[in-house]
């Protein structure tokens, strides 16, 4: 009654052939006769033969596993990207092993080691926020395991990376608001020493400049963005006179906070004040009005990262030139930023 997994050797014995023949038959090798293949696959199915990945990997030196290391699996963004990564990898016949660094440098270094132990053939990383010393990212390379960054990259890295063009996103959002007729656009930014926040802000400034508008420092608000800082910022901004006619937030939760405060002051969105933001969490489509923002392209990000990695894996001889792929962000225009003139009939109704 005690059941043991069937091995290739078991199959070989039962069929009176050599293990190598079974192995080849199962791999659909060219020079195995159809008859033998039939017999082998038949019995394999009957016995529920499951190949032992560990043994195959040990022997062939190929694990067929890609490692993925993300800061965390909470919120909207990373789960979505990981989802895209696993699908794309599966399509190409690869497994994926996922680790979380929990935004911690120590755990990140440990995870890299863990993935290398698991004999992954390539690694995708979104760096932890806390990471200062980045030398643990070099060990894969020394073992000829390619590493590709996505979303979060160490400064001046020599690795390949897939990124979203934050500057372009800030520029496009601002240009959109200007084109809709908004003129006093407030900006809520996160800490400006964080690269992507700085880039978004620069895009905002440049767009204003491009349209001949001044950057009014009084309309820029820097904070660790979330719902309550978004609320506080908006409350502050409403004290200005003339008050801003649009608010651009570098994070969507802050935008929601701003919108709440506007509604509490009986200001209409978008007729009195437009709201727009970065990032693209589900709730932005649930807000009323729905929120204009930048689509972070999670799917494209994951897909591109996998392709880049597989490319590096398949060309181990090449000089491993680092390739930085910058994805263009997509502006998603929704109700919260549609100019007055478009909504004029509605205004008269209400």
Which parts of this chain interact with DNA (CB under 7 A)? Answer: 5, 7-9, 16-21, 23-24, 26-27, 30-33, 35-36, 51-52, 55-56, 58-61
**Total count of residues recorded for the chain:** 350
Spatial distance between the Cα atoms of 116 and 110, rounded to a whole number of angstroms: 10
Residue with smaller CB distance to DNA, 21 or 189 = 21
Spatial distance between the Cα atoms of 79 and 96, rounded to a whole number of angstroms: 14
Give the shortest CB-139-to-a copy of itself separation in angstroms: 6
DSSP alpha helix (H) spans, 159-219: 166-179, 195-210
Give the shortest CB-118-to-DNA separation in angstroms: 12
Question: The dihedral of CA 77, 79, 80, 86: what is its sign?
Answer: positive
Give the shortest CB-140-to-a copy of itself separation in angstroms: 10
Spatial distance between the Cα atoms of 141 and 320, rounded to a whole number of angstroms: 10
Spatial distance between the Cα atoms of 328 and 148, rounded to a whole number of angstroms: 19
Give the shortest CB-121-to-DNA separation in angstroms: 14
Cis peptide before 242 (omega within 30 of 0): yes
Residue with smaller CB distance to a copy of itself, 179 or 264 = 264
CB atoms within 10 A of CB 224: 10
Residue with smaller CB distance to a copy of itself, 230 or 329 = 230
119 binds, among a copy of itself, DNA, none (CB under 5 to 8 A by kind): a copy of itself
Spatial distance between the Cα atoms of 104 and 12, rounded to a whole number of angstroms: 50
Question: The dihedral of CA 188, 191, 195, 196: what is its sign?
Answer: negative
Closest CA to 184 of 291, 293, 274: 274
Give the shortest CB-233-to-a copy of itself separation in angstroms: 16
116 binds, among DNA, a copy of itself, none (CB under 5 to 8 A by kind): a copy of itself
Contacts with a copy of itself, residue ranges (CB under 8 A): 3, 5, 48, 50-55, 57-58, 63, 72-75, 78-80, 82-83, 86-87, 95-100, 102, 113-114, 116-119, 139, 142-144, 227, 253, 256-257, 260, 263, 281-283, 285-286, 288
Closest CA to 333 of 295, 300, 303: 295
Give the shortest CB-226-to-a copy of itself separation in angstroms: 10
63 binds, among a copy of itself, DNA, none (CB under 5 to 8 A by kind): a copy of itself
237 binds, among a copy of itself, DNA, none (CB under 5 to 8 A by kind): none
Q: Are 187 and 203 a contacting pair, CB within 8 Å? A: no
158 binds, among DNA, a copy of itself, none (CB under 5 to 8 A by kind): none
Residue with smaller CB distance to a copy of itself, 37 or 72 = 72
């Amino acid at each position: 009654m005690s059941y043991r997994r069937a091995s290739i050797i078991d199959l070989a014995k039962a069929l009176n052939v050599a293990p190598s023949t079974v192995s080849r038959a199962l791999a659909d090798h060219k020079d195995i006769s159809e008859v033998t293949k039939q017999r082998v696959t038949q019995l394999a199915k009957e016995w529920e033969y499951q190949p032992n990945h560990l043994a195959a990997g040990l022997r062939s030196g190929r694990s067929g596993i890609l490692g993925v290391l993300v800061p965390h699996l909470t919120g909207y963004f990373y789960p979505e990207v990981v989802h895209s990564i696993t699908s794309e990898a599966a399509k190409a016949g690869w497994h994926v092993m996922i680790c979380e660094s929990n935004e911690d440098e120590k755990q990140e270094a440990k995870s890299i080691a863990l993935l290398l132990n698991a004999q992954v053939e390539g690694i995708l990383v979104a760096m932890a926020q806390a990471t200062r010393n980045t030398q643990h990212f070099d060990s894969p390379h020394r073992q000829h395991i390619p590493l590709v960054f996505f979303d979060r990259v160490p400064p001046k890295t020599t690795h390949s990376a897939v990124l979203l063009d934050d500057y372009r996103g800030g520029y496009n959002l601002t240009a959109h608001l200007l084109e809709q007729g908004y003129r006093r656009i407030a900006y809520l930014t996160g800490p400006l020493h964080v690269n992507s926040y700085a880039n978004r802000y620069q895009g905002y400034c440049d767009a204003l400049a491009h349209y001949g508008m001044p950057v009014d420092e009084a309309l820029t608000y820097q904070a660790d963005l979330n719902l309550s800082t978004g609320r506080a910022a908006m409350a502050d901004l409403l004290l200005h006179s003339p008050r801003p006619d649009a608010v651009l937030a570098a994070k969507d939760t802050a935008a929601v906070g701003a919108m709440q405060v506007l509604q509490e002051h009986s200001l209409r969105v978008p007729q009195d004040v437009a709201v727009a933001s970065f990032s693209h969490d589900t709730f932005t489509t649930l807000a009323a009005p729905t929120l204009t923002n930048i689509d972070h392209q999670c799917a494209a990000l994951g897909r591109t990262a996998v392709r880049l990695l597989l490319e590096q894996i398949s060309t181990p001889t090449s000089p491993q030139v680092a390739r930085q792929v910058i994805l263009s962000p997509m502006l998603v225009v929704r109700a919260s930023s549609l100019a007055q003139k478009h909504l004029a009939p509605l205004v008269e109704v209400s």
